[in-house]
């Protein structure tokens, strides 16, 4: 019961609202609970120094020596002094970089909260069934082909392919396929390649026709963007839809990404409704 309640989007929005309220509070308290709000007074608390030390130890795998700690504290003071001066000068206003960075921070916070949602098996199965193309196990094919270069042979290339096909169809015939046809840049033998692989090498039309042919025996000619081909299929498996256990991790990643996107848009729209949006007409240059 508790787990299902924790998955409710309404709870997520409430949590996000609480986080944003906290951020607003901290922002108005100069972004640091250890810094006094008086614009002319900066206090670096013991808790803040402890955090500086902890961050240093994580990076360097050792505590800072006194001079290094003094440098860390001075760097933090310098940062705060310059930050306050920049705010007093209004340098944060109309700065696209700062505005974009602040917007990104809110999005990152929301993304972290949205990522806490735990999908159920039912949700994952529904997502798998609704997006079969993302998780389909592709069919694979193994075949050998003899190539006739129509750029070099012209229309004679198709006729030559037809003549060779007639010879291959004769009972008891033996032809060394390595000695016929033209040299193909991708070779004659292709093992366990997917339809996408074949499309990339030979073209989409060739790939679709190839996967519709039966296993065994020479067939063709089949045209590609390179010329004419005779093919013999050794093995073939069709594409299949996997069950959840076979692709659980991938389904979960895709599901979470979609949830983040949907929740992000819903969250943005809920924030946007709080504002009156006015888009003025452009001032045309004379």
pLDDT one-digit tens code per residue, 50-96: 888 999 998 999 999 999 988 888 888 888 888 777 777 777 777 77
In whole numbers, what is the pLDDT of the chain averaged over residues? Answer: 80
Q: Determine the Cα–Cα distance for residues 156 and 251; give it in Å rounded to an integer.
A: 51
Secondary-structure breakdown of the chain: helix, strand, coil percentages, each rounded to the nearest 5:
55, 15, 30
Q: Which of 73, 188, 83 is nearest to 142 (CA)?
A: 188
Which pLDDT band, with edges at 50, 70 and 90, does 35 fall under?
very low
3-state DSSP call for residue 237?
strand
38 CB-near residues (< 8 Å, 6+ apart) = none
Confidence (pTM): 0.48
Contact between 63 and 56 under an 8 Å Cβ cutoff? The reply is yes
pLDDT at 17: 55
CB-based burial label for 141 (10 Å; 0-12, 13-18, 19+): buried
Contact between 135 and 242 under an 8 Å Cβ cutoff? The reply is yes
- Residue recorded with tokens 């409430």: 14
Q: Which residue has the higher pLDDT, 194 or 93?
A: 194
Q: Which residue has the higher pLDDT, 10 or 159?
A: 159
């Amino acid at each position: 019961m508790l787990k299902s309640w924790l998955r409710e989007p309404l709870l997520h929005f409430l949590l996000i609202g609480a986080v944003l309220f906290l951020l607003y509070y901290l922002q108005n308290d100069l972004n640091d609970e250890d810094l006094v709000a008086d614009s002319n007074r900066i206090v670096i608390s013991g808790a803040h120094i402890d955090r500086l030390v902890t961050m240093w130890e994580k990076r360097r795998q050792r505590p800072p020596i006194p001079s290094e700690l003094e440098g860390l504290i001075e760097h933090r003071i310098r940062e705060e002094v310059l930050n306050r001066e920049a705010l007093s000068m209004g340098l944060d206003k109309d700065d696209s970089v700062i505005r974009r960075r602040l917007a990104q921070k809110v999005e990152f916070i929301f993304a972290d909260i949205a990522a806490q949602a735990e999908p159920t098996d039912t949700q994952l199965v529904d997502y798998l069934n609704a997006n079969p193309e993302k998780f389909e196990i592709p069919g694979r094919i193994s075949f050998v082909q003899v190539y006739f270069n129509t750029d070099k042979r012209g229309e004679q290339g198709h006729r030559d392919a037809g003549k060779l096909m007639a010879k291959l169809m004769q009972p008891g015939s033996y032809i060394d396929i390595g000695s016929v046809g033209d040299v193909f840049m991708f070779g004659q033998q292709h093992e366990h390649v997917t339809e996408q692989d074949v499309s990339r090498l030979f073209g989409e039309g060739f790939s679709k026709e190839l996967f519709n042919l039966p296993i065994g025996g020479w067939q063709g000619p089949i045209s590609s963007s390179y010329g004419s081909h005779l093919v013999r299929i050794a093995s073939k498996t069709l594409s299949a839809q996997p069950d959840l256990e076979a692709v659980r991790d991938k389904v979960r990643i895709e599901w979470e990404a979609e949830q983040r996107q949907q929740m992000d848009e819903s969250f943005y729209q809920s924030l946007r409704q709080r504002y009156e949006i006015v888009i003025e007409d452009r001032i045309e240059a004379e």
